[in-house]
Chains A and B, each alone.
Chain A
Amino acid sequence: MSEQKNRRFGLNRTLAIVALVLGLLAIFGDPYQGHVVQLDTKELATIVEGEVDHVTVQELADWIIQGSADYRLIDLRDETAFAEYHIPTAEHVPIGQLTDYPLQRNERIVLYSGGGIHSAQAWMLLQANRYRGSYMLLGGLQSWKDEVLFPALPEDATPQETAEFERTRFVAEFFGGSPRSGVVDAGEQVAVPLPKVEMSAQPVVPKRKKKAKEGC
């Protein structure tokens, strides 16, 4: 009995010494990995090749309609363009301020610019900074206008296309756009005025959800 007790005390002491030594050594370290990054270019290429680096405008439209709060939408264009029109729920962040902007690494971040170049560059920047959940809006704001706000139904549309267009019509009207049917040339320039956006002084930040975690 007493021998068993001694051995148990021995184990406790050993563990205490191990903890003390590891604690002492830790004084000289930092668990966070700083700003210098190591980039796995092969892994990045795989992501791009697999086309899992973007979300489509239809997907984004669905999230907004559903009132989903598990993404951050970042508008990378300049201030005037943002004031004129932006996709609902978007936050305005110029590309130069992106790395200092308070984003969490475990958030889903969707980037968009006018076309696609700036958002692709910003995506690369975020990926390099280990923001694994960053995505580009495919086609940028141009696609949003063409496919969500002012979708076009070609004159020679198949019945299936026409059926799908009915759903698109609902989405377009939700965002204040208007669908166009019977269009001969789907690529024509949109001359319809963009829907008005109410500008708030503060960027629209999706409400943070509280997560409860019990310790014991």
Chain B
Amino acid sequence: MNAPLFKFGLFGDETSLVVAFVIGIAFGFFLERAGFGSARKLSAQFYLTDMAVFKVMFTAIVTAMIGLFYLSWAGFVDLSLVYLTPTFLWPQILGGLLLGFGFVIGGYCPGTSVVAVSTGRIDALIYGGGLLAGIFVFGEAYPAIEGFVNSSDMGQLTIPQLFHLPYGLVLFAVVLMALGGFVGATAVEKILARKASES
């Protein structure tokens, strides 16, 4: 059987919702198990005292990247059927900054806040309220900002396409970045832990 399973018609719309539910529950479960249901753990990332968020996310990226690459190379996945989010450069930079500020201030990102709500954390409930309010404001303001939201449309762009590099080379570079990042992150953690114990 080839993937993407839904696009090849292995199951229909209704079943896909069940599959999405199961994947979503599993995603939330592993976020919680990694400690990401705690705003303390998440915001420690920004003070560089605990780099778990960086390590987990980069590990996920590298695992998925290598897995997809080899599965499609072997013919099990048709990458041309996998949906790529189109690039809208400036709106996405601004959106990323907004998300980053919200992450630092509130201690959660959207996904982890839902995980924390499900374990009954009160700060996450308040965060969730802010999230819904933000969605409402965006929806109401949409006619005014529609032009900006759809500006600098670069289509479904990938790094290999943009820089005319072979896919495998980009993959290797990202793996090197990740491994270097892990070593560097652990070193930073150790230095800050020593400083904390000294003071």
**Residues in A lying within 8 Å of B, measured CB to CB:** 12, 16, 19-20, 22-24, 26-33, 104-106, 130, 132, 208, 210-211, 213-216
Contacts and interface: CB of A to CB of B under 8 A. Distances in A.
B168 A27 contact: yes
Contact of A32 (B70, B85, B167, B182): B167
Contacts of B112: 216
16 contacts: A19-B62, A20-B179, A23-B66, A24-B172, A26-B167, A27-B166, A27-B171, A30-B73, A32-B79, A104-B156, A105-B81, A208-B86, A210-B149, A214-B110, A215-B57, A216-B110
B7 interface: yes
B89 interface: no
Contact of A29 (B9, B57, B73, B150): B73
B167 A31 contact: yes
Interface SS of chain B: helix
Given A20-B179, A26-B69, A105-B78, 7 more contacts: A19-B66, A29-B69, A30-B166, A31-B68, A31-B167, A214-B110, A216-B57
B23 to A, nearest CB: 13
Contacts of A16: 179, 182
Contacts of B3: none
A216 B7 contact: no
A28 B81 CA distance: 23
Contact of A23 (B78, B81, B172): B172
A27 B174 CA distance: 12
Contact of B73 (A12, A20, A31, A210): A31
A105 B75 CA distance: 16
A207 to B, nearest CB: 9
B109 interface: yes
Interface residues of B, number: 38
Nearest to B53: A216
B111 interface: yes
Contacts of A26: 66, 69-70, 167-168, 171-172
A23 B175 contact: yes
Contacts of B168: 26-30
A104 B7 CA distance: 12
Nearest to B56: A216
B80 interface: yes
Contact of A106 (B7, B66, B72, B176): B7
B83 interface: yes
Contacts of A33: 72, 75, 78, 80
Nearest to B156: A104
A108 B99 CA distance: 34
A23 B112 CA distance: 30
